[in-house]
């Protein structure tokens, strides 16, 4: 073809690459301008995004989003089953770049060729079926033939048969509720399930996760219940934007609060209000017990934040369950990092006033999570697979540590003593008292309080000086430390106390007191950092399933654990233990008189009580610290 002929054809070639011209006839001006859908993933995108309805064994179809980089082959699948909207999890930004549409924690995986899958659980968002909060395993509490375990099995089965870009190996992961569904996938697992990373999973909602802690009801759950079980736009409980402390105090009991805002219309709220004790309904849903009854076949990395404000109990409880019963070689690891709930999958440079050496969240993902999954999911795994173990971040010293077992410290008593002191040796007998007034409960934070946002995420590391010195808070302190005290485990509270009431709550805080002069970071001078804070409801002293009134004036031995921690109390610091009888409005008020259900207490049931904390002698109150040898 001559040059002249080529030039003659050039306009036709250019026209073929342009967008098609608008029709000669104009669009009617009164046309209904709504369209059914718009595909925001354009041909120039560097990824593939598919949405499918995967059938379960009972015919219910679950909405599933699959994303991966174009050209992917022989790739592992990383699955999350969630009530929090699969679409939103894979469209963080409506970009045409894969690393921009997924969440920060997913970026290392999709950039390394993983196929990322999110699925709406039954009854949520685009999935079919009924939604049941933390749907129990099929059996006594679930007469149907389906649950999260069967749904995970059916989903994995479909994925490995229909996603041709995969290598047939699947991992499951997720935070909070998604951590719960991750654990459920490990019960009677699909053969293609090769690894699991549950982060801050909901495990036992009564003992120490979302709804109760040692019998004390956590009021913040009302907002969650409303959000999860009502259609779009439900939002928070419409109590206004002021002080949550004032709103809960004015409402009265948990039931009165729920009734005032129409929450008793929600089945999940009624179920919780009707079951204040640790009955068979709660026990039958405890995932650690379900897993303990089975042999673990899926290598698992359990993850939790040291200052997890929502689910501090679950991951360590599952670790204990899986490592117990003569199974020391179970393929399970435990990771405890310096994080709030789920911060391991986001930026981990800072938590409230605490600043760390680098991005601890990214360090976890790069050094621990991804190598763990790569080793078990990739066709050509990078050898060798690291052995199971315990990986913790030592706060105070700012370093990652590895331990063979957990707890990794020796229980060492730090005794409450006279003169508001703490002693490493048992003192002579004595006591201190304070008056607990339900009309003036001790606040969890400086008022005004809002149980949401950054205030909620960071409340556990807030400076405790705002209550130090209150007449209804006892503070015991060591002398200035001349050597470091390193704890690795869950401190155990052994509190000997009496009350003039017939019930009562006790809150213990383990605190790191910074020096009054602190040149390393002047903003932290004198700071009282809560290392562990936990509550115990007195009526359960003889068993969580058998509440009973306390005998006024009788000394009881109350025992419970604080959250797991790897923390170094540095030389020049002091250790403090605070004791009080309320932590409001996070926990509902104990009326301190006897009522069958605190949930339904009436205004006249709330009475003042004198609480007596005994120390030394035969009633030696102490916090047993898991002290590690450095």
Q: Residue 311 maps to which CATH number?
A: 3.40.50.1820
Residue 546 lies in a domain: yes
Distance CA 570, CA 305 (A): 21
Same domain, 460 and 544: yes
Angle at CA 490, nearest 5°, toward 488 and 496? 130
Number of domains in the chain: 3
**Residue 17 predicted with pLDDT over 50:** no
* Average pLDDT estimate for 563-585: 98
Tell me what pLDDT residue 382 has.
Answer: 75
Q: Are 409 and 627 in contact (CB under 8 A)?
A: yes
Distance CA 49, CA 496 (A): 59
Structure confidence by residue, pLDDT tens digits, 399-431: 999 999 999 999 999 999 999 999 999 999 999
Same domain, 457 and 547: yes
Tell me what pLDDT residue 30 has.
Answer: 83
Same domain, 505 and 587: yes
Same domain, 562 and 438: yes
* Average pLDDT estimate for 503-519: 97
Tell me what pLDDT residue 459 has.
Answer: 98
Q: Give the pLDDT band of residue 20 (cuts 50, 70, 90).
A: low
Q: Give the pLDDT band of residue 14 (cuts 50, 70, 90).
A: very low
Residue 22 lies in a domain: no
Same domain, 296 and 439: no
pTM for the whole thing? 0.94
Structure confidence by residue, pLDDT tens digits, 336-371: 999 999 999 999 999 999 999 999 999 999 999 999
Q: Give the pLDDT band of residue 4 (cuts 50, 70, 90).
A: very low
Residue 565 lies in a domain: yes
Angle at CA 184, nearest 5°, toward 182 and 189? 95
Q: Which of 403, 419, 434 is the last residue of a domain?
A: 403
Same domain, 102 and 219: no
Residue 25 lies in a domain: no
Residues with Cβ within 8 Å of residue 237, at least 6 apart in sequence: 222, 223, 226, 261, 263
Distance CA 467, CA 529 (A): 12
Expressed as residue numbers, the domain containing 322 is: 47-206+281-403
* List of E strands, 176-245: 193-199, 212-213, 216-217
Same domain, 396 and 273: no
**Residue 329 predicted with pLDDT over 90:** no
Burial class for 474, CB neighbours closer than 10 Å (0-12, 13-18, 19+): middle
Same domain, 249 and 180: no
Q: Give the pLDDT band of residue 22 (cuts 50, 70, 90).
A: low
* Average pLDDT estimate for 585-614: 97
Residue 42 lies in a domain: no
Tell me what pLDDT residue 445 has.
Answer: 97
* Average pLDDT estimate for 435-440: 98
Structure confidence by residue, pLDDT tens digits, 123-170: 999 999 999 999 999 999 999 999 999 999 999 999 999 999 999 999
* List of E strands, 324-478: 332-337, 350-351, 354-355, 390-394, 399-403, 410-417, 421-423, 430-436, 474-477
Q: Which of 403, 419, 452 is the last residue of a domain?
A: 403
* Average pLDDT estimate for 466-471: 94
CATH number at residue 571: 2.60.120.260
Residue 91 lies in a domain: yes
Residue 2 lies in a domain: no
Same domain, 544 and 435: yes
Distance CA 621, CA 415 (A): 6
CATH number at residue 244: 1.10.3020.10
Q: Which of 369, 403, 437 is the last residue of a domain?
A: 403
* Average pLDDT estimate for 19-32: 72
Same domain, 537 and 465: yes
**Residue 12 predicted with pLDDT over 50:** no
Beta pairing, strands 556-561 & 492-499: antiparallel
Same domain, 423 and 452: yes
Same domain, 71 and 101: yes
Residue 8 lies in a domain: no
């Amino acid at each position: 073809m001559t040059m002249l002929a080529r030039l003659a054809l050039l306009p036709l070639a250019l026209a073929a690459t342009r967008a098609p011209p608008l029709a000669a006839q104009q669009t009617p001006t009164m046309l209904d301008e709504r369209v059914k859908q718009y595909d925001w993933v354009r041909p120039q995108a560097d990824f593939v995004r598919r949405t499918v309805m995967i059938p379960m064994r009972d015919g219910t179809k679950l909405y599933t989003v699959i994303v991966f980089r174009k050209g992917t082959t022989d790739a592992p699948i990383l699955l999350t089953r969630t009530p929090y909207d699969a679409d939103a999890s894979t469209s963080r930004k409506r970009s045409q770049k894969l690393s921009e549409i997924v969440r920060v924690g997913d970026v290392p995986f999709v950039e390394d060729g993983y196929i990322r899958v999110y699925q709406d659980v039954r009854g949520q968002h685009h999935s079919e079926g009924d939604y049941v909060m933390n749907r129990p395993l099929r059996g006594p509490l679930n007469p149907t033939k389906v649950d999260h375990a069967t749904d995970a099995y059916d989903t994995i089965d479909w994925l490995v048969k229909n996603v041709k870009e995969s290598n047939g190996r699947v991992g499951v992961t997720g935070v909070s509720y998604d951590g719960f569904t991750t654990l459920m996938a490990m019960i009677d697992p699909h053969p293609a399930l090769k690894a699991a990373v549950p982060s801050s999973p909901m495990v036992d909602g009564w003992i120490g996760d979302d709804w109760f802690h040692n019998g004390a009801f956590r009021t913040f759950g009302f907002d969650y219940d409303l959000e999860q079980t009502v259609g779009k736009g439900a939002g928070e409980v419409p109590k206004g934007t002021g002080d949550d402390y004032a709103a809960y105090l004015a409402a009265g009991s948990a039931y009165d609060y729920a009734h005032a805002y129409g929450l008793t219309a929600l089945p999940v709220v009624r179920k919780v209000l009707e079951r204040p004790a640790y009955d068979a309904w709660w026990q039958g849903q405890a995932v650690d017990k379900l897993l303990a009854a089975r042999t673990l076949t899926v290598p698992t990395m359990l993850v939790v934040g040291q200052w997890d404000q929502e689910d501090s109990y679950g991951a360590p409880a599952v670790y204990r369950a899986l490592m117990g019963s003569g199974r020391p070689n179970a393929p399970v690891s435990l990771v405890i990092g310096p994080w709030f709930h789920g911060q391991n999958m986001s930026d981990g440079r800072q938590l409230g006033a605490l600043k760390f050496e680098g991005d601890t969240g990214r360090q976890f993902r790069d050094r621990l999570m991804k190598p763990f999954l790569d080793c078990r999911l990739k066709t050509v795994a990078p050898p060798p697979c690291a052995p199971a173990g315990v990986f913790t971040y030592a706060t105070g010293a700012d370093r990652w540590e590895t331990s063979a077992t957990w707890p990794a410290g020796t229980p060492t008593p730090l005794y409450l003593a006279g003169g508001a002191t703490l002693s490493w040796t048992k003192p002579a007998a004595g006591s201190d008292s304070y008056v607990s007034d339900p009309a003036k409960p001790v606040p969890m934070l400086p008022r005004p309080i809002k149980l949401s946002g950054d205030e909620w995420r960071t409340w556990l590391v807030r400076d405790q000086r705002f209550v130090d010195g209150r007449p209804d808070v006892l503070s015991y302190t060591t002398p200035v430390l001349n050597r470091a005290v390193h704890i690795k485990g869950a401190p155990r509270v052994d509190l000997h106390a009496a009350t003039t009431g017939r019930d009562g709550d006790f809150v213990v805080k383990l605190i790191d007191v910074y020096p009054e002069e602190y040149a390393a970071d002047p903003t932290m001078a004198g700071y009282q950092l809560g290392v562990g804070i936990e509550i115990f409801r007195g009526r359960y002293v003889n068993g969580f399933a058998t509440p009973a009134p306390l005998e006024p004036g009788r000394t009881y031995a109350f025992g419970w654990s604080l959250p797991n921690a790897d923390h170094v109390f540095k030389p020049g610091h002091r250790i403090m233990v605070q004791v009080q009888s309320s932590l409001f409005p996070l926990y509902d008020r104990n009326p301190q008189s006897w009522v069958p259900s605190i949930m339904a207490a009436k205004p006249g049931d709330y009475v003042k009580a004198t609480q007596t904390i005994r120390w030394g002698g035969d009633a030696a109150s102490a916090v047993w610290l898991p002290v590690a040898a450095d």
